[in-house]
Amino acid sequence: MGFGLRDPSAAMRDFLLQAGGCAVVDGGLATELEANGADLNDPLWSAKCLFSSPDLIRKVHLDYLMAGANIIISASYQATIQGFEARGFSKKESEALLFKSVEIACEARGIFQSSYRNGSYTVGADEASSRKQPILVAASIGSYGAFLADGSEYSGHYGKEVTLQTLKDFHRRRVQVLAESGADLIAFETIPNKIEAQAYVELLKENNIRIPSWFSFCSKDENDVVSGDSVLECTAIANACQNVVAVGINCTPPRYIQGLILTIRKATDKPIVVYPNSGERYDADRKEWVASTSICEEDFVSYVSKWSEAGASLIGGCCRTTPKTIRAIAEALSTVRSAPQSTSACD
């Protein structure tokens, strides 16, 4: 199913209704690719697999769908025309790889729906129960810092020479290509500052992009994104854009999510999407995740009902989360949906 040419906000509301009020977003892609044997020690990170091992990407998408995901996110987070060209691909080949990221996700959806009776799949402890599993494909767009591959996506500090126009010029063609790729929406992910959010809003308007999108910020606490910009200000920028059908947070420690949902709700009535990481910290120098305040999967999932009650209606995981995590989230949300007299956002 897709949003088509309908009113984006109405389409998202209908999608959430079909999903039972809360939708499940998939989990970490790159770390799951590594768990399946991929070597991602590369500036292209997960995008490397688009030409080295596309079948592995498809497998991970399917693993998340089988775990209960309603939304799978393409392997284009670090896929940029500039990055591919630096590896020797032509502009045409680079654009084809962007298209391929969405094609792989759509193929996985088709395989899953064909194998599991057009989207009906059983999740949760009670194998006798099943729910309709509407599925959307989101085309991922990572920040400028993700292209730099220097960890600045987790700080938002690009330097004074990087202006609003710099960011618009960098992202423009990728946004145009992914808007025409067949994805149901664009996921602008791990946005670290308000200037990049503003760049995305202006690009959507200037290029007459019709595909819906969500804006997902990376935060350092319950009030500010990683650059120090106010979450309220960042949310207001996203809220003012008609294309944006959800606003939220990703790749942020779980302990901050409930407070962030409450902060975001002050600036928008759009659906809120949250998909935190495991709580570990990314070391840009070592280029690896290191233990800090990480939590076990059981503790991670224990937050889900609280996030739903606080107002989140799209919930998943980011870096270092797995299909096991997503299955547990799907089961937790199933419980929330069926709870009598619930006050959660899933009602």
Is the pLDDT at 298 greater than 80, yes or no?
no
Q: How far apart are CA 39 and CA 53, in angstroms?
A: 10
> CA angle, corner 178, sides to 274 and 320, nearest 5?
35
Is the pLDDT at 166 greater than 50, yes or no?
yes
Q: How far apart are CA 98 and CA 270, in angstroms?
A: 28
Taking the CA atoms of residue 139, residue 55, residue 60 and residue 99 in that order, the dihedral angle to the nearest 10 degrees is: 0
The region of weakest confidence among 165-179, 233-247, 294-308, 329-343 is 329-343
The whole-model pTM stands at 0.90
Is the pLDDT at 263 greater than 90, yes or no?
yes
Q: How far apart are CA 279 and CA 333, in angstroms?
A: 21
The region of weakest confidence among 31-35, 52-56, 186-190, 294-298 is 294-298
Q: Locate the DSSP E strands across 126-196.
A: 131-132, 136-141, 185-191
Q: How far apart are CA 252 and CA 108, in angstroms?
A: 27
319 is in an annotated binding site: yes
> CA angle, corner 27, sides to 201 and 171, nearest 5?
25
- pLDDT value for 131: 46
> CA angle, corner 37, sides to 36 and 43, nearest 5?
110
Task: Tell me the pLDDT of the chain averaged across its residues.
Answer: 88
Q: How far apart are CA 274 and CA 313, in angstroms?
A: 8
318 is in an annotated binding site: yes
pLDDT digits 0-9 by tens, 58-113: 999 999 999 999 999 999 999 999 999 999 999 999 999 999 999 999 999 999 99
Is the pLDDT at 346 greater than 90, yes or no?
no
- pLDDT value for 125: 35
Q: What proportion of the chain, given as a percentage, has pLDDT over 70?
A: 84
- pLDDT value for 337: 66
Is the pLDDT at 347 greater than 60, yes or no?
no
Average pLDDT over residues 158-171: 96
Contact 177, 141 (CB under 8 A): no
Contact 106, 181 (CB under 8 A): no
Average pLDDT over residues 323-336: 92
Which token pair is 312?
């989140």
- pLDDT value for 127: 34
- pLDDT value for 338: 63
Cα–Cα distance list, 277 to 22, 203, 251 (Å): 19, 28, 5
- pLDDT value for 149: 84
